[in-house]
A and B are shown apart, each in its own frame.
Chain A
Amino acid sequence: MPSIAFYIFSLIAVTGAVALVAFRNPVSSAMAMTGSFIGLAALFVGLNAYFVGIIQILVYAGAIMVLFLFIIMLLDLKSEERSKPQPLMLAACLVIPILFLVQLTGVLQSTKDEPHKPLNLVASAKHFERAEGEQETIIHQNLAKEELPDVHLIGLTLFTRYNFPLQVVGVLLLVATIGVVSLSKRGSDRPAKPSTDS
């Protein structure tokens, strides 16, 4: 049985998400999304993922939201006109989520609901026992004090075991940057060179 906090923050996240779709003014939608992200961040914290929760607020509710608001203001978006719902579209919008929900319920019922176990730092610390001659790191110090060094653990995992995907993501970001430039640059003022081919 999850704690009452789980239900409260889930409710905040879901309400925010519904409001995001329902609002007609883009700025209100963006604000509703912030609410949804804050609920989500609280859920992460409830799962002992403090770092992910804080990043969720800093990056999504902070940086990305500001970006969205800038774009909305720059493009000067007006409230969306409410169009008449097409019956076929409406039916599809109802049938697909209901099918999905039925399937999800079926899956959840076929699995056992296990009670939430608090994180056992003493047991987890055994994975990080110091080898002979190895330097003592913050991870070791924190675990000895029974504190969760989650930032360091994420950093360690990302830069050692998951180093390869991280590099690929680097190339991905480069490509995205090239895309932004080449899809949005204005023509230069230089006179166009005549095309050399026929």
Chain B
Amino acid sequence: MSPYLLEAYIVLVGLVILMLEAFVPALRKEHLGVFAIGGLVFGLVLLFVAKAPAHPEGNVEMARFYAFDSQAIFYKGLALVCTILVLLLAIDYRAILAKFTENPGSEEGTGEYYALPIFACAGMMWMASAQDLVSIFVALELVTITFYILVAYMRRNVGSLEAGVKYLILGALSTGFLVYGIAWIYGTTGTTDLSLMAERLQALPSATPALFGLALLLLALAFKIGAVPMQLWIPDVYQGAPTPTTAFLSVGSKAAGFIITLRILKPFMDRESVPEIAQHTTFILLVLCGLTILYGNLAAIPQTNFKRLLAYSSIAHAGFILLAVTAWGKGSETTLSTPQAVGFYLATYLIMTIGIFFALVTIRNATGSEEIAAFDGLGKRSPALALAITVLLSALAGLPLTAGFYGKFFAFRLAIDADLWFGVGLAFIGVAAGFYYYLKVIRAMYWRTSDDTSPIAISPIARYAIGTLTILTIILGFWPNPILWLLGA
């Protein structure tokens, strides 16, 4: 099967869900979510069946914009898995969603919430394949515009609306930077095709205009991945948005942002052919990565709202991944290359983060609160849930024998190989701070007591999802090979 049909199929699934929503009013809305998940699971099957076209040059229009290498396949899979989990989360979250949409009390207004993530997923899959600045731009805008809607979806909730407006304004600003950067790069190199960029950069009389364009592009990418200096929106938007959207933003949107960051940086980080440009780019990235690690980890310490804490932790993780990007290791038989380390980090990050968000939705459904105080006494109320949260949080902190450890380990190793001691030093401070603020939640669960001692009600979806993701976190902690095989290492 031709890979070009993959995204067409995903868009079709989205359209079918929309049509069902509109024309079959008898259908219960959460069943739309189940159909959507079914469609996306079949999409995963198609992804394994799809083969790169034998003669891509026969279809010039597509071949220029669409790469189907192992990296693209990996990130497409990541986008699909993430969307499936987010839809499960949305089904679990629908009671709260219904409260703040049309006709509160019924689920009338929640139908589109199951269709929109599918379009975002198609956009992320296009981003995974994009190898031309034009297709990067359109795919990225598709994802961003879908997220504007998903963030503001609970329109009877002031927090969600405020988050939507903030995301819209900063998103529009970063789009401006992106287009302006693309214009500069096109103006200096005469091409938007990233595969031709390397040789064009080599032939430039002066690298300054291209670097100026790249700096603007990096600003826009920093918005997508949640890095300094475009990180200010993250805490407010993450806190205000519906929780499934927050999970989607923090995993799916970030992963898609990193794949295009890797693709855009590739010609600029080529140390052999353009040493001068690579040196400048490394310096910019090192500054961004150091500031991101410091900001994310240190600002997370005083937080009392768990969703806000996860927002800062999301910035911190973007910083650790940027450390691997800054190192830009080529990889050898014994070490991972930068794209592999980034892919591994994002895959483990997906498992841990979505697990934690399932737990958060469960707690929110039961207690109506997202504060850390809502976790008080959880160790006595629901020991199994508390244990799962403990494992997931320690994995996010990077405790050895959990999946989170290997992600950080590979990033650090790349940075040490590249002699980025400044970045490594800051990252160690970040990891230490991380242990402190994640353990604060664990302390609340086991050392604090709550007046309410009844066990927390867990829906079957959340039970299976949290269970599976927690077990995966532990298994990948001492046996990370499955993800490494997918990455071709």
Contacts and interface: CB of A to CB of B under 8 A. Distances in A.
B28 interface: yes
B208 A172 contact: no
B266 interface: no
B206 interface: yes
Contacts of A197: 94-95
Contacts of A172: 138, 141-142, 145
Interface in B195-212: 205-206, 208-209, 212
Interface string A155-192: 00000111111001101101110110111011110101
Nearest to A165: B138
A128 B108 CA distance: 56
Contacts of A169: 138
B374 to A, nearest CB: 19
A160 to B, nearest CB: 6
Contacts of A83: none
Contacts of A160: 61
Interface of B: 11, 18, 28, 60-62, 64-66, 94-95, 98, 102-109, 112, 115-116, 119, 122-123, 126, 134-135, 137-139, 141-142, 145-146, 148-149, 152-153, 155, 205-206, 208-209, 212
Contacts of A176: 145
A4 interface: no
B115 A165 contact: no
Interface stretch (A25-33, A59-67, A104-112, A135-143): A104-112
B61 A168 contact: no
B362 to A, nearest CB: 14
A120 interface: no
A162 B103 contact: no
A178 B109 CA distance: 12
Nearest to A180: B149
B79 to A, nearest CB: 15
Contacts of A196: 28
A153 to B, nearest CB: 16
Contacts of A190: 103
Given A165-B138, A169-B138, A179-B148, A187 B122 contact: no
Nearest to B101: A182
Secondary structure at the A interface, as helix, strand, loop or mixed, is: helix
Nearest to A104: B212
A179 B65 contact: no
A85 to B, nearest CB: 19
Interface of A: 103-104, 106-107, 110-112, 160-165, 168-169, 171-172, 174-176, 178-179, 181-183, 185-188, 190, 192-197
Given A162-B61, A165-B134, 13 more contacts: A104-B212, A110-B209, A168-B123, A168-B135, A172-B138, A178-B149, A181-B112, A183-B153, A185-B109, A190-B103, A193-B106, A195-B107, A197-B94
A185 B212 contact: no
Contact of B62 (A164, A182, A186): A164
B135 A188 contact: no
Contacts of A186: 102
B109 A182 contact: yes
A190 B126 CA distance: 40
A195 B95 contact: yes
Contact of B105 (A104, A183, A188, A194): A194
B105 A192 contact: yes
